[in-house]
Amino acid sequence: MEQKSPFGSFLEELEDFRAPLIDWKDAMYGKHDISDFRHAFLSSTDEYAKAIRCPTQCDSPCPMRIQHKEKSIEAVCGENISNNQPLSEQDILIYRLNVSKLHKIIAMTFGINLNENNLNDKRRYYLGEYTPFAGINYPVYMSYCNFRASMSGMVKYLCSGHHGKFILFSTSRRFLTPETELLLKKREIVFVSLEDELLIDRRCNVSLRRGQEKIFASLLNMPETKTVEFFPTPLNAKWEDLNIHFINEHTVTVQILETKASLNYFEMGMASSLNKGPVDRWTFMLNLAENYGVYGWDGLQASPAIKKQKQLLCENLVKFFRIEGEPIYWDEGRKAYIARFQIRPDTYSTSWKGKGKKLSV
C-alpha cells in the first residue's frame, strides 16, 4: 500500500499554515520534490524566518535561531546540542499554504463543483457541492481543525444547519472524538480524511487511494429522501438520451446513456396511495408507448382529463429523472402529444393494447 503523505499532519501543526521553506522540506521527509511541492501547494510571503525547526530529537526541542554572517546564513542551536546548520536565503523564505490551490486540487480529484467560502475561521471552509446525479447536490465542507473541541464544534454546527446529508473533508481523523464519530454515523455524514484518501507522489501528482464510487458509496446507493425515488441520471443528460421500454404493463426498462435499470410504476412514483395500483398518468405513458412516443386522436383535441394526465406525467418525469425542460409536448399539426424521449411497448404482449385511441402515423 502507498504510504501516507505527511502533508496533512504538518498542516495541523502550523498555526497560520506558514513556515520557512526548509521546514516544509524537512516535514515532508523527502517524499515530495520541494520545487514541485512549492509550485503545487505554496505561495511566498516575501518574508524571511528568524528561526527554523530543530531537527535534533532532544527532550525539549526549541527553534534554531537564524544567524546572518557576512557571506553565509546559519541556524544556531541555543542549547549547543547540534551543530550549526548552513542555510540559503531560499531556505529561510517563508511560504504559506495556498488554500485556494489545494481546494482546486481537492475539487478536481474528488469531482466537486468548487464554490469556496471561508466560514469566518481560517480553518473552516465551505467548498461547494458534490453532484453525483442530475439535480442531486450535497454540500461539501473542509476542516483544518487541529483541536478536538474545534472539530467537535464544527461538526455540531454543520449538523444543526443541515437536515440532509453533507460531506466533510478534513486533513486527518486525529481530532475526531468518539462522540463526534457517533454523531457523524447517526446523521449518515460522509467524512473524508485527506491523509487516508489522497495520494501525493514525489512529483506532487495527486490521485485517490480509492475511487469516488467507494468514498461516496453511501450517497450513490441511497436516494436523498425515503418517500420519492429518483433515477441516477448522468450529469448533462437530455430527454433525447432517455429510452423507456415496457416489459409488461407494470414494469419498464429505463436507460439514459450508460445507466440502466428495471423499474415498476410504484418505484417511479406513479402508484395510488389508496389501492397501490397505477395512477392515470401511468396509463397515459402506456398509450404513449403504444405508438412509440406519439399519443393522439384522429382529428380531435385532447380532453381536459387527458391534458391533466399529460401535465402530471411531465411533472412526475421531471422530478424522477431530474432533467430540465418539458419531456412531452403538443404538436398542433399532428394533433398529438409527442415524447422527446424514446419509448416503446412490450412487443411480445398485447394484453394492455387498445386502451387509448391511436393516431395513424
Task: Give yes or no for residue 139 having a pLDDT over 50.
Answer: yes
Task: Report yes or no on 230 lying in a domain.
Answer: no
pLDDT band at 221 (very low <50, low <70, confident <90, very high): low
Are 257 and 195 part of one and the same domain? no
Q: What is the mean pLDDT of residues 23-52?
A: 92
**Mean pLDDT over each residue of the chain, to the nearest integer:** 86
Same domain, 281 and 297: yes
Residue range 43-66, pLDDT digits in tens:
999 999 999 988 776 666 688 889
Query: For residue 253, is it within any domain?
Result: yes
Same domain, 91 and 116: no
Q: With H, G, I as helix, E, B as strand and everything else as coil, classify residue 86.
A: strand
Q: Is the pLDDT of residue 282 over 80?
A: yes
d(C-alpha 208, C-alpha 110), whole Å: 8
Please say if the pLDDT value at position 328 is more than 50: yes
Is residue 351 over pLDDT 90?
no
Parallel, antiparallel, or unpaired for β 64-68 and 51-52? antiparallel
For residues 277-297, give the mean pLDDT: 90
Domain count within the chain:
3
Question: Is 323 part of a structural domain of the chain?
Answer: yes
Distance (Å, whole) CA 265 – CA 233: 18
For residue 358, being part of any structural domain is answered with: no
Highest mean pLDDT among 99-113, 134-148, 224-238: 99-113
Residue 352 counted as domain residue: no
Q: Determine the pLDDT at residue 1.
A: 47
What pLDDT is attached to residue 357? Answer: 37
Supply the pLDDT for residue 350: 44
167 and 181 co-located in one domain: yes
- Neighbour tally for 341: CB within 10 Å: 20
> Which helix (H) or strand (E) is 160 found in, with range?
helix 148-161
> 182: helix, coil or strand?
helix
- pLDDT tens digit string along 166-191? 999 999 999 999 999 999 999 999 99
Q: What percent of the chain has pLDDT over 70?
A: 89
Instruction: State the first-to-last Cα distance of the chain, in angstroms, to the nearest integer.
Output: 63
Q: Are residues 123 and 139 in the same domain?
A: yes
| Residue 224, pLDDT above cutoff 50 | no
Q: Per the domain annotation, does 360 fall within a domain?
A: no
The average pLDDT across 77-99 equals: 86
Which grid cell sits at 250?
407494470
* pLDDT at residue number 192: 97
Residue 219 predicted with pLDDT over 90:
no
Nearest to 159 by CA among 141, 145, 174: 141
pTM more than 0.85:
no
Residue 256 sits in the same domain as residue 298: yes
206 and 143 belong to one structural domain: yes
Q: How far apart are CA 44 and CA 340, in angstroms?
A: 55
Clarify whether residues 103 and 212 are in a common domain: yes
Q: Are 86 and 52 in contact (CB under 8 A)?
A: no
Q: Over 80: is that where the pLDDT of 264 sits? A: yes
Q: Indicate if the pLDDT at residue 23 is higher than 70.
A: yes
Mean pLDDT computed over 269-275: 82
Segments forming the whole domain that contains residue 129: 99-220
Beta-bridge partners for 248: 251
117 and 43 inside one domain: no
Q: Check whether 341 has a pLDDT greater than 90.
A: yes
Model confidence at 352: pLDDT above 60: no
Amino acid letter, 336: A
- Percent of the chain with pLDDT strictly greater than 90: 57
| pLDDT at 356 exceeding the cut of 60 | no
**pLDDT for 142 beyond 90:** yes
Is 354 part of any domain?
no
Place of cell 383535441: 301
Does residue 300 carry a pLDDT above 80? no
Establish if 330 belongs to a structural domain.
yes
Does residue 276 sit in the same domain as residue 209?
Answer: no
Q: Are residues 161 and 108 in the same domain?
A: yes
Q: Are strands 198-200 and 206-208 parallel, antiparallel or unpaired?
A: antiparallel
The predicted structure's pLDDT at residue 59: 65
**Same domain flag for 207 and 244:** no
